[in-house]
Amino acid sequence: MAAVDLGTHPGHLARRLQQAHHLLWNTMVSEEITSPQFAVLNTLVAEPGLDQRTVGERVGLDRSTIAEVISRLGRRGLLDKVRDPQDGRRSLLRLTDEGLRTHKRLTVRTARMNQVFLAPLSAEEQTLFLDLIRRVADAAEGLRNPGEPAVRQP
């Protein structure tokens, strides 16, 4: 039996890409705040006062993962939960002043990291690459949510 060419396996390439991203994140952005945690901070900067479920949907995290991320950010003093005045069973999320400062600091670092991460590609290739992986990621989200269209056309 012959070995397969893993260079043609998207999952293998995605894992290698994730490893590179993880290395750059830890060295250039933060060893304390993870990329998913930053995504939550960023979402709450853009849309303060979202509930946990909505934040999870925005950043592509399942229920248990988003719960853990929210819990960790809360323990670090980066976000607060407040009761929804319209629905007392629901909590809304807001960044603390420290959460806003942390987001601002990390935003500068993520911009530089992204430049390094995408440096092997020309500007046009970067745009195409981001579009293609976004389309694949969006289609993959549909696999977790079978009621939604699995493939979105550009």
CB-based contact 109:30 (threshold 8 Å): yes
Query: Is the per-residue pLDDT at 150 higher than 70?
Result: no
Please state the domain extents for the chain: 12-144
Q: Average pLDDT of 81-105?
A: 92
CB count within 10 Å of CB 15 equals: 12
Q: 3-class DSSP state for residue 90? A: strand
CA distance 101 to 34: 16
pLDDT of residue 147: 56
HSE-up (13 A, CA, CB side) for residue 120? 4
Contacts (Cβ under 8 Å, ≥6 apart) of 91: 51, 52, 81, 82, 83, 84
Does the pLDDT at position 12 exceed 60? Answer: yes
At 59-82, the pLDDT tens digits run 999 999 999 999 999 999 999 999
Largest CA distance in the chain: 64
On the 0-12 / 13-18 / 19+ scale of CB atoms within 10 A, 23 is exposed
Mean pLDDT of the residues in the chain:
91
Position 153 pLDDT exceeds 80: no
Q: pLDDT tens digits for 19-71?
A: 999 999 999 999 999 999 999 999 999 999 999 999 999 999 999 999 999 99
DSSP H/E element including 9: none
Going 85 to 89 to 94 to 98, the CA torsion angle's sign is positive
Structural contact between residues 55 and 42, judged by C-beta atoms closer than 8 angstroms: no
Residue 92 has what pLDDT?
95
* Arch. (CATH architecture) of 12-144: Orthogonal Bundle (1.10)
pTM of the model: 0.86
Do the beta carbons of residue 69 and residue 39 sit within 8 Å?
no
